[in-house]
Amino acid sequence: MYRILSRKELNPTVTQLEIEAPLVANKAKAGQFIILRVTEDGERIPLTIAGTDRKTGAVKIIFQIVGSTTEKLNHKKQGEFIQDFVGPLGNPTDIAGKKRVCIVGGGVGCAIALPVAQACKEQGTEVVSIIGFRNKDLLILEDEFKAASEKLVVMTDDGSYARHGNVTVPLKEMLEAGEKFDEIITIGPLIMMKFVTLTAKPFGVPVTASMNPIMIDGTGMCGCCRLTLNQDGKRVTRFACVDGPDFNAYEIDFDEAMSRGRMYIPFERKAHEETCNLFKKAEEV
């Protein structure tokens, strides 16, 4: 059992928890993830490690409430426990030798992008960050990104805060102005990462995308997290849990990944509604 050290609501649909897991905290690096179960009979879900504190043994996770398990997790309070917390899994983000990078995050993906930006800053890399959200109410981690970045651009789709537009607008402006990056690292919705990649391609800047497909065992055996890459004219299969989660964005078949991700949306919504109804009935009693 793993104790919840702290709980914080970042916005109406995104929650941050700190979990007491010293073995994970001691080994985790930026870009890696954990798999947890809320209860003994619960499903396994992957969540990226959003930060660690080796002194206290705390591991920070940030999640969006979209399905049954995240709804159950969101009802957990400080001092309570979750059943399983396994990690670190996956490969750390490769930032060695990078002198200047652009971090592009979208929505709750910014929780994954932040530790990468922080790790870059710690090693002396100049960090330019672009983060985007649908509106002001969904904004998270702005102050943390400011602290980790030499330059930060915040975008909102509806213009309710900061600049109006999506994250590709300032990225294209920077590239057209001649700004140079050793790499662009993008983390967020698949459609956003696809267009970040298309925006960067004419300029020849390497782009790395962090992929977070459906996952069960985290060892590559279940095959749920498979991705199709186009390498040297051939289509090859890779698994996000063991080969990733970071991949060369120019090789990813984003359209296939988006199609696979949409397959389970109706099931996810139904499970979420059923779980919400159970909590409502319990509260009424």
Domain ranges of the chain: 2-89, 93-210
Among 239, 161, 155, 163, CA closest to 195: 155
Q: What is the pLDDT of residue 277?
A: 64
Task: Give the chain's mean pLDDT.
Answer: 91
Q: Going by DSSP bridges, is the β-strand pair 84-89/33-37 parallel, antiparallel, or unpaired?
A: antiparallel
- Residue 81, SS3 per DSSP: strand
pLDDT at 215 over 70: yes
Q: So what's the pLDDT on residue 36?
A: 95
Share of the chain above pLDDT 90, in %: 79
Q: What are the backbone dihedrals phi and psi of residue 152, each rounded to the nearest 5 degrees, phi first?
A: -130, 130
pLDDT tens-digit profile of 128-185?
Answer: 999 999 999 999 999 999 999 999 999 999 999 999 999 999 999 999 999 999 999 9
Cβ atoms < 10 Å from Cβ of 167: 26
Query: How confident is residue 29, by pLDDT bands cut at 50, 70 and 90?
Result: very high
Long-range own/partner contacts, residues 156-162 (CB < 8 A, 24 or more apart): 156/132, 157/132, 157/133, 158/134, 160/135, 160/136, 161/133, 161/135, 161/136
> Which residues lie below 8 Å from residue 77, measured CB to CB, with a gap of 6+?
4, 7
- What pLDDT was estimated at residue 223? 82
pLDDT of residue 235: 95
The CATH superfamily holding the domain 2-89 is: Translation factors (2.40.30.10)
Report pLDDT digits (tens) over 39-62.
999 889 999 999 999 999 999 999
- Measured in residues, the chain has a length of 285
Give the class (CATH, top level) of 93-210. alpha beta
Q: How much is the average pLDDT of 85-102?
A: 95
